[in-house]
Amino acid sequence: MDVIPAIDLLDGRCVRLYQGDYAQSEVFHDDPVLVAQEWVAQGATRLHLVDLDGAKAGHVVNGDVIEAIARSVSIPVEVGGGLRDRQSVAEVLGLGVRWAILGTVAVENPDLVAQLCQEFPGQIIVGIDARNGKVATRGWLETSEVDAIPLAQQMADLGAAAIIYTDIHRDGTLQGPNREALRELANAIAIPVIASGGISSTSDLMGLMALEPMGVTGAIVGRALYTGALSLRDAVRAVGQGRWQDVPPDLGFSTFA
């Protein structure tokens, strides 16, 4: 299982939101590139970037920062936030990004998702962010009447490489992931599921590893890493992934916490 550090970008800085609320943002670092390099030094094998400004605007906003991160690290990067047309997807993939994450268009324009999956095979991930099982869109500012599992099944059929599932009520709360929802989703589709929201401890990660045979292949971790509640080194060790053995023990999280 991959432990995937999240880097959320707002006004060019690394922040975290609470339950997706832009009014409850906390700045953790002014230099997201340095943050990305720190996570690589700590053993990360993949990074998750969210363009929060882009999610609100409906197009790529933090492109310069995204490109700087993608070009400065040797591990693959996935990016979401505001990717609602072909131009935006092509733009972000052209920045050196491995995967583009689609959210709102999965609900509003599934035909476009199908086209993009054909044009960029293996590079399209669909993010399903849910409140009480209903899919939220437009930077979590709106909640649709679409149920998460049928949408995931449709996206898998269209050719999505994976599904990132976020329980918005857990995001930024450090209360643990919604394992039951993840179990139901993973059992309903045949493509990988990446867990997001509320992961705060190695115990949470070990619990998710029990779902790995069902298809839960990764866990995105945000606030817990930045506050120091969870050490990435310990997280990588816990899942037996990455190169934690080579990371000097004195590389801590004082930069962020």
How many degrees, rounded to 5, is the angle at CA 213 between CA 206 and CA 178?
50
| pLDDT tens sequence across 210-240 | 999 999 999 999 989 999 999 999 999 888 8
Is the predicted pLDDT of residue 93 greater than 80, yes or no? yes
In angstroms, the CA 153 to CA 185 distance is 9
In angstroms, the CA 220 to CA 254 distance is 21
| pLDDT at residue 129, as a whole number | 87
DSSP state of 244: G
What are the chain's domains? 2-246 (3.20.20.70)
- Annotated active-site residue 8? The verdict is yes
* Candidate list 2, 8, 51, 167, residue with the active-site label: 8
Secondary element (H or E) of residue 11? none
Is the predicted pLDDT of residue 246 greater than 80, yes or no? no
Is the predicted pLDDT of residue 151 greater than 70, yes or no? yes
* Candidate list 2, 51, 53, 129, residue with the active-site label: 129
- Annotated active-site residue 53? The verdict is no
Q: Is 89 exposed, middle or buried (0-12, 13-18, 19+ CB in 10 A)?
A: buried
pTM tops 0.85, yes or no: yes
